[in-house]
Amino acid sequence: MLPTLPHLHYQVAMPTPQTHYFTVDLHIQGFTASVLELKFPVWTPGSYLVREYERHLQDFQAQGLSNGEYLEHQKLGKAHWAIACGEEENIAISYRIYADELTVRTNHLDYSHGFFTGAALFFYLPGHTHRPLALTVVPPEPAWAIATALPCKATDSTTGAKTFYAQDFDTLVDSPVEVGIHRDYAFETQGKEHHFVVWGESNLNGEQLVRDTEKIIAVEAGLFGNLPYDHYWFILHTSNQGYGGLEHKDSCVLNYDRFGFRDPEKYQRFLQLVAHEFFHLWNIKRIRPIALEKFDYDQENYTPSLWFSEGTTSYYDLLIPLRAEIYDRQTYLKNLGKEITRYLKTLGRLVQPLAESSFDAWIKLYRRDANSDNSQMSYYLKGELVTLMLDLLIRERHQNQRSFDDVLRAMWQEFGREEIGFTPEQLQAVISRVADTDLTEFFHTYLHTTAELPLNDYLQPFGLVIKPMQEDLTPYLGIKVKSEAGQEKITFVAAHSPAAMAGISPQDLLLAINGVRVGAEQLSLRLKDYQANDMIQLTVFHQDLLRTVDVVLASPQANRYEVVPIADPSDSQLQNLAGWLGES
């Protein structure tokens, strides 16, 4: 006889939202074992850091529903509970979660709205994550609307509560919920229903946002061939803090500056964020590394392939608005130059290989410190530029008749449609097949070593070159300084720089140059009084000890890099460029 499978029903309420507490109830019916084990996720897919969500949990209780008695429980680990339920088959779990962290990967609740993501709010039953479940959301007042990609099964017209269905725990985690007084810009495009839910005061033009989002959707759907969902929800938090996005299968969450929508450059950056997170509904939510095919919510899930999942997505988030005619070729090249500038000004590119950057995301990318730029390389950024090189390589070999677009379509057909996780070797095999050449040495060099990326070699057949811009002739010292509470704090010291060789450290307090007081605002101007190879005396407080050291200044460094057309390009170069970026 088959064992009875438990029925799971979660309820989330927020009776006093101004106190930042969600109240969560989990009713389990038909549980037949004598001990019920519960675990709380320590991370959420898409954000590769163990965030210890359980630290916000309090007031845990377990109760038998048949007799109303409280059940004994104990913690077996930091996020692992055990309840002695004996013969009790129907159990009610209750607890509260403190929610006052407004990011795309955490919970936030105040007088104006509530937002939660499943991994940061819900327990799961080990061995039962495949079970279907129900979720009831009870707003603090009926006027608060509820937005989520989960299908709604019932509505209470009196309280405004809604009950949703999730086919398993992964789906619950993958379906964030926004509750409150928000604007819902509903629209239909490509034959599918879409919603742009916006919380917070802002200078956003909703009609323009919908028009531009429709263009982005059309381009990305055209690339992959279809939209693999019935409806899609963009959840946007406009605020005065933070920036970012988190992808989900049928939705995404965005956080952006509330007044960053009128300035053209800031608005373009926002649309790149939209393009990035929407692109993820294919690349990583469905086309995903084998290490992420099945999520282990208890610990890190390691993969060396985030350079493709995130870096390739970053490459396309610049291209998509160009293809959608939201901006032109000149703007695209300007934005590409900014990315190359960030890369070439990150000393960690000479320390951390790209595949290692992906593998070590859990301990480095989201745990930045004063030495991070010296010691690590973002798989977003370098992955973007490696994808650029691969796209240009494929285009040049095949006269723009093939491109990295074909890699993505092949990955979708072979792995994404059926959600079969790919190995690093399978990914590289697909790219090599599309390129029709052996790329073994390419992948070894640019994924597993710190060799410089020969970007100009790949741009040259397209009539482009990277041009260093040295507008500022200030001799190089190698520090960044920030004014904090009346003190001039050194926040970064570049490896091998004059300051580093003189023993200057992050957290030192900058006091003077050659005996004259200097702060963050005056530093660059003061350095202009000197030349490369001049010696200056730098005075700092190091752990409250006064130090004066001799520093020999180095030659000025490039401030930024631009991608510009070469002089007198050939017809072949012009054709290659037009095939890649369209007609000028």
pLDDT at 3 over 70: no
Mean pLDDT for 17-37 is: 96
Mean pLDDT for 156-185 is: 97
pLDDT at 404 over 90: yes
Give bridge partners of residue 483 from the DSSP assignment. 488
* Confidence band for 2, pLDDT divided at 50, 70 and 90: very low
The domain ranges of the chain are 7-181, 329-469+566-584, 479-552
For 105, other C-beta atoms within 10 Å of its C-beta total 23
Which are the contacts of 55, defined by CB distance < 8 A and separation ≥ 6?
none
Torsion sign (Cα): 126, 130, 132, 133: positive
What's the CA gap between 176 and 198, in Å, rounded?
14
pLDDT at 183 over 70: yes
What's the CA gap between 303 and 269, in Å, rounded?
28
Find, among 455, 452, 264, the residue nearest to 354 by Cα. Answer: 452
pLDDT at 319 over 50: yes
pLDDT at 407 over 60: yes
Lowest mean pLDDT among 18-22, 49-53, 555-559: 555-559
Per-residue buried b or exposed e for 412-429, using 16+ beta carbons within 10 Å of the residue's own CB: beebbeeeebbebebbbe
What's the CA gap between 576 and 445, in Å, rounded?
26
329-469+566-584: CATH homologous superfamily? Answer: Neutral Protease Domain 2 (1.10.390.10)
CATH level 2 (architecture), domain 479-552 = Roll (2.30)
Contact between 39 and 126 (Cβ < 8 Å): yes
What's the CA gap between 171 and 240, in Å, rounded?
30
pLDDT at 95 over 90: yes
What's the CA gap between 120 and 172, in Å, rounded?
11
CATH number for 7-181 (one of 3.40.190.10, 1.10.20.140, 2.60.40.3650, 3.40.50.2300): it is: 2.60.40.3650
Percent of the chain with pLDDT over 90: 96
What's the CA gap between 211 and 559, in Å, rounded?
36
Digit-coded pLDDT (tens) for 121-139: 999 999 999 999 999 999 9
What's the CA gap between 424 and 311, in Å, rounded?
14
Average per-residue pLDDT in the chain? 96
Q: What is the pLDDT of residue 68?
A: 87
Digit-coded pLDDT (tens) for 454-487: 999 999 999 999 999 977 789 999 999 999 999 9
Q: What is the pLDDT of residue 1?
A: 36
Higher-confidence position of 384 and 4? 384
Q: What is the pLDDT of residue 4?
A: 62
Digit-coded pLDDT (tens) for 195-223: 999 999 999 999 999 999 999 999 999 99
* Confidence band for 431, pLDDT divided at 50, 70 and 90: very high
Which are the contacts of 215, defined by CB distance < 8 A and separation ≥ 6?
324, 325, 326
Torsion sign (Cα): 566, 572, 576, 578: positive
Q: What is the pLDDT of residue 470?
A: 79
Judged by DSSP in three states, 45 sits in coil
Q: Is 145 exposed, middle or buried (0-12, 13-18, 19+ CB in 10 A)?
A: middle
Mean pLDDT for 530-541 is: 96
Digit-coded pLDDT (tens) for 249-269: 999 999 999 999 999 999 999
